[in-house]
Amino acid sequence: MTTDKPVVLIAEELSPATVEALGPDFEIRHANGADRAELIPAIADVDAILVRSATKVDAEALAAAQRLKVIARAGVGLDNVDVKAATQSGVMVVNAPTSNIVSAAELAVALMLAAARHVSPAHAALKNGEWKRSKYTGIELYEKTVGIVGLGRIGVLVAQRLSAFGMNVIAYDPYVQAGRAAQMGVRLVDLDTLLDEADFMSVHLPKTPETVGLIGADELAKARPHLVLVNAARGGIVDEAALYDALKTGRIAGAGLDVFASEPCTDSPLFELENVVATPHLGASTDEAQEKAGIAVAKSVRLALSGELVPDAVNVQGGVIAEDVRPGLPLTEKLGRIFTGLAGEVAQQLDVEVRGEITEYDVKVLELAALKGVFSDVVEDAVSYVNAPLLAAERGTAVRLVTEGESPDHRNLITLRGTLADGSQVSVSGTLVGIAQKERLVEVNGFDVDLEPTDHLAFFTYEDRPGMVGTLGGILGDAAVNIAGMQVSRSARGGAALVALSVDSAIPADTLTEIQGAIDATAVRHVNLV
């Protein structure tokens, strides 16, 4: 029997609290989302679908979903949801970005303790009838130094818990203000210092092109030989081959791993080592985390299907936002990500400046979009319109929205302007042009540009002199990096100059270093928006 109620398809086993949170206003259906033959016809006439990790909501499923408005992932990751295809189809994607933070933090501590006390091999030996007390003598956490790599929400929770163990906590995170860390009793250091001082290390970073392989052979060679390394964040941040070599040769003492570069991972050389304790990505696998995730996405579905603002939407935003303001949201979020790439740290003061006709409307949402972009590549958990201001406050960033009706050069102009810890300023401006409302970068650190903000951008600041553009282009050509767009801007003839590039692929780190030396660049910044 059909009803006039919106239809919600629950495609995997979710907490009973999820259905309770949806309430009586929806028709609830169930299907096995992992079975494609069952999923495709089941999704045809539903308004929302709730999934976990086994159901793939891809382009094929979206094509079959004639009425779908919302895809809700009861968890943090979105690997099984084609967000781009959903966005193109006008389907909102929501997740539960904070549902698992306590569970993930507790697992990191559990892995650290297990590795320190050889719990896994001692357990296996005892089950095998062997009583090996002396072989599995461990070490205490008390009065040792732990290095937290990434002081985001989970990193902070881990730091708090390990402080209670009597540990000395240091952290590496270029996007956290030293004063904010000091308030938590954490000393901020650079990565080399952390590796030199840490007895234990726990990784809590997002996986980005910049963080993949961050802890590799060179870094592990700098570590103390008794280091115990824990990674319960994302696979690939720690180079698994380098970690195996370091553990096998005794370069470091032990490791606790919950994540792997390729998952599911059931066959790894690391599993052969007694000084490794490993779990199959259990960070969010607690009853409490699953219940929190289910309730959170159920609330988001209710908001979305009633036309309200959905704070945890990761692509399109619902709610009452003026039609003239809405096209500026993706641009502003990109400006935020570019700002972070240019700054390389979090600003102490960030102004979101909005100028032009758009200021006739409520543009507060643009401030939220800017913050969402600023922190998207900084923290390990998903950033939403709700938690972005909290992330700014946690990192000691003061935020101000500035509006001005006059905009001399553009119909509307959005600028992010920030003051860094050393007093220097970083700025980036963008606008929408033409009937198609195409996104353009029009200013970077005071230099006028006109560039499309594509997936891969690079910015080089140097002293204006002949031949520099050709040199730069030649090096990129040798590296097989194709230039899609280029802008050269300068303050005065022979003064400071900026080359802004959009390229078709990410620029390798050694190529950036080569360019910096060849043109004697004073600043090199590479921004990946994928």
CB 486 within 8 A of CB 472: no
Q: Which of 335, 298, 288 is nearest to 430 (CA)?
A: 335
**Cα–Cα distance, 384 to 303 (Å, whole number):** 15
Q: Which of 474, 471, 484, 476 is nearest to 521 (CA)?
A: 471
CB 245 within 8 A of CB 251: yes
Residue 124 sits at φ, ψ, to 5 deg, of: -65, -40
For residue 428, the SS3 value is: strand
Catalytic residue positions, numbered: 234, 263, 281
The C-alpha torsion from 254 through 259 and 265 to 269, rounded to 10°, is -20
Query: Which amino acid is located at 503 in the chain?
Result: V
Beta bridge partners of 278: 257
What does the block give as tokens for 206?
């997002």
**Cα–Cα distance, 233 to 286 (Å, whole number):** 16
Residue 127 sits at φ, ψ, to 5 deg, of: -65, -25
Residue 294 sits at φ, ψ, to 5 deg, of: -60, -45
**Cα–Cα distance, 500 to 458 (Å, whole number):** 6
**Cα–Cα distance, 47 to 65 (Å, whole number):** 9
Percent of the chain as helix, strand, coil, to the nearest 5: 35, 25, 45
- What single string gives the DSSP state of each residue in 76-111? S--TTB-HHHHHHTT-EEE--TTTTHHHHHHHHHHH
Beta bridge partners of 295: none
**Cα–Cα distance, 43 to 157 (Å, whole number):** 39
Helix (H) or strand (E) holding 299, with range, is helix 287-305
CB 184 within 8 A of CB 156: yes
CA 492 to the chain's CA centroid: 38
